[in-house]
Amino acid sequence: MPASAPRIGVLAVMGSCLSLQVGAAVAMQLFPTLGPWGVTAVRLTVAAVILCAVARPAIVAWDRHQWRAVAVYGVTLGGMNAFFYAAIERLPLGPAVAIEFLGPLALAAALSRRARELALVGVALAGMGLLALDGILGAEPLDPLGVGLVLVAAALWAGYIRSGAQVAGRVPGMGGLAAGLAVASICLIPFGAPAMTRLALEPSLIPLALATAVFASVLPYSLELVALRRLPERVFGVLLSLEPVFAALVGWALLAQGMTWLRAAAIALVVVASAAVTLGARDGAPNRTAPRRRGLRV
């Protein structure tokens, strides 16, 4: 693996984090018209069409192991996004992402073997706790249903990381990502069909739908796939601690959501943990769950 590979992987994760939150902020403008499940379906369908046209996955050549990996990946991808969008309809973006991060954080802890890594997970977890505490102590309490929805999304996020690593190791090129998005969009057809009809009746919403698909699906998932091929899976999981940081910043900049001292303290903890993991990433070995990984993943 080239010496620059960990650095590229780190930058890819950071770009993914920013793009996802910008995409979520854009998507929220469509919620009143299409609903969160409809927006998710449209976003994943548009992303699937774009990537299938670009990647042209050689699906006829895949064996059953590759198909199984892609199918699981697509289901977890679709469910993770749908439940998260349903949650942010009821929760502020920052606290929602902080709670959702419990999924990959738990995965990172389970995959860690050294005391240093476990300590960094603990630092990131403290930051997540402060963000969650800010949501609880803020002017408006967190919606219980929203919390439940985002906890489901958290579990699916952990599954997405694991299944994505399998796809990255077994399916060359962008084909696994494109097919996974297609599987996710098929699973959401009951919500996507009415949403597509509404878009046809209100074409002024189409630019927002396209922007959501690009910023919240095509770009971040492609960057994450690049990262998973250059970083150990446990390092990738801890680096995702940047997600609540970008969510809080995007919520403040684009959605006028406040930045309290608790959120600022949480950001500081997460940045420290992420910086420490970044410095140590070059010493990590590639993820052994996908030793032949050469192409990509979302």
Give the Cα separation of 121 and 125 in Å (integer): 6
Helix then strand then coil, in percent of the chain rounded to 5, is 80, 0, 20
pLDDT over 90 at 7, yes or no:
no
pLDDT over 60 at 52, yes or no:
yes
If you average pLDDT over residues 30-56, what whole number do you get? 90
Q: Which residue has the higher pLDDT, 277 or 82?
A: 82
Give the Cα separation of 34 and 41 in Å (integer): 10
Give the Cα separation of 245 and 242 in Å (integer): 5
The rounded percent of the chain whose pLDDT value lies above 70 is: 85
294 confidence band (pLDDT: 50, 70, 90): very low
Give the Cα separation of 223 and 13 in Å (integer): 6
Residue 183, Cα to own-chain centre: how many angstroms? 17
Per residue in 192-211, pLDDT (tens digit) is 999 999 999 999 999 999 89
pLDDT over 70 at 145, yes or no:
yes
Give the Cα separation of 241 and 125 in Å (integer): 9
- Return the structure tokens found at 230: 């250059």
61 confidence band (pLDDT: 50, 70, 90): confident
pLDDT the model gives residue 57: 84
Give the Cα separation of 205 and 50 in Å (integer): 18
Listed in sequence order, the residues at least 6 apart from 6 whose beta carbon sits closer than 8 Å to its beta carbon are 230, 231, 278, 281, 282, 284
Per residue in 213-243, pLDDT (tens digit) is 889 877 887 888 788 888 877 677 677 767 7
Alpha carbon distances (Å) from 141 to 28, 32, 90, 92, 190: 20, 22, 11, 10, 32
pTM confidence score: 0.79
The three-point CA angle 267-271-275 to 5° equals 175
Cβ atoms 74, 160 nearer than 8 A: no
Q: Which residue has the higher pLDDT, 43 or 238?
A: 43
pLDDT over 60 at 275, yes or no:
yes
Cβ atoms 219, 16 nearer than 8 A: yes
pLDDT the model gives residue 74: 93
Instruction: Sketch the domain layout of the chain as residue ranges.
Output: 5-283
The rounded percent of the chain whose pLDDT value lies above 90 is: 30
